[in-house]
Amino acid sequence: MTARILDGRATATAIKSELADRVKVLTDRGRVPGLATVLVGDDPASHSYVTGKHRDCEQVGISSIRKELPADVSQADLEKVIDELNEDPACTGYIVQLPLPEHINTNAILERVDPAKDADGLHPTNLGRLVLNVNEPMTSPLPCTPAGIVELLERHGVELKGKHVVVVGRGVTVGRPIGLLLTRREINATVTLAHTGTQNLGELLAQADVVVAAAGRPHMIRAEQIKDGAVLLDVGVSRVEDPETGKKKLTGDIDPAAAQKASWLSPNPGGVGPMTRAMLLVNVVESCERAEGILT
């Protein structure tokens, strides 16, 4: 068997075209959604991610604001930028690109973001609402990657009800929050959260109907570890040197050979990455709709 592809690019394109219609409704009412990005330092990967987000915005009619700060920016100066965005009516949602430099207190920055403008869904208030299940129906943003994974599976008709999902990775953006979403009653999956300290990962993977690989370890999930017909989502990315060309290339957490055994595969690139970006746009549009009283 060769896995069918969970096509994140095509799905993100479909979501963007739906969003363009909703953006038009807002714009016609005189309210243009605006995404701001805050980028600290000059990491080329972060730059290219942020550029992609601005391109997405343009495609759906969302205006965008780009703030760039030097790598040695002080905590106070970065907080000033956050305060300005919280006040700026042209910015209806924003993200602070992670990771931030070591000298910055990242949690203090994330907490300073106005929860109503939190396009990442990573503000403690919004994560707390996710735990409390109060963001049904949609009273606050969801974290983009978990929401993107659920949307990608739903739009391909992959059933999660009663399934055992093994999540590998405990990061704040994916591993920790995704179980909260997948175990909601309307989705009803069973979730195991594994990480680099898990001793019996092999046993867990052998039982997994769905594997969410989000550890950031190149090709750590191998074909022989997974069940025949498992659904695989390759979320982690690393930049590793290609031994043939000597160039750095993007590598996921799942060994490509595993695709032969899987029923569905979300590839990397082309899977969850574009979905994450699409859900960021969803969060920006919804925060604007909420402010207009269109979404309750």
Ligand X SMILES: Nc1nc(=O)c2c([nH]1)NC[C@@H]1CN(c3ccc(C(=O)N[C@@H](CCC(=O)O)C(=O)O)cc3)C=[N+]21
Residues that bind ligand X (CB under 6 A): 48-49, 52, 95-98, 120, 144, 250, 268-270, 273-274, 276-277
DSSP label at residue 223: G
**CB-closest chain residue to ligand X:** 273
Closer by beta carbon to ligand X, 27 or else 46: 46
Marked catalytic residue, from 16, 97, 225, 255: 97
Active site residue 53: yes
- 175 appears as a binding residue in the annotation: no
Residue 102 token pair: 């070591």
Active site residue 260: no
- Determine which one of 7, 16, 53, 163 is catalytic: 53
Distance, CA of 266 to CA of 133 (rounded, Å): 27
Q: How far is the CB of 33 from ligand X (least distance, A)?
A: 17
- 3-state secondary structure (DSSP) of residue 201: helix
Shortest distance, CB of residue 15 to ligand X, whole angstroms?
A: 13
| Distance (Å) of CA 127 to CA 159, 188, 275 | 25, 19, 19
Cα–Cα distances in angstroms (integers) from residue 202 to residues 61, 170, 197, 208, in the given order? 46, 17, 13, 10
* Residue 229 annotated as binding site: no
Marked catalytic residue, from 7, 56, 120, 253: 120
- Taking the CB of residue 71, how many other CB atoms lie within 10 A of it? 12
Cβ distance to ligand X smaller for residue 153 or 204 = 153
Neighbours of 99 (CB within 10 A): 11
**Closest CB 177 distance from ligand X, rounded Å:** 12
Min CB(9)–ligand X separation in Å: 7
Partnered with residue 240 across adjacent β-strands are: 249
Nearer to ligand X, 36 or 230 (CB): 36
Cβ atoms 267, 3 nearer than 8 A:
no
Residue 170 annotated as binding site: yes
Query: Kind and range of the H or E element at 182?
Result: helix 175-182
Compare residues 17 and 188 and give the one whose CB is closer to ligand X.
Answer: 17
What phi, psi does 93 have (nearest 5°)?
Answer: -160, 150
Residues known to be catalytic:
53, 97, 120
Q: Would you list which residues are annotated within the binding site for NADP(+)?
A: 169-171, 237
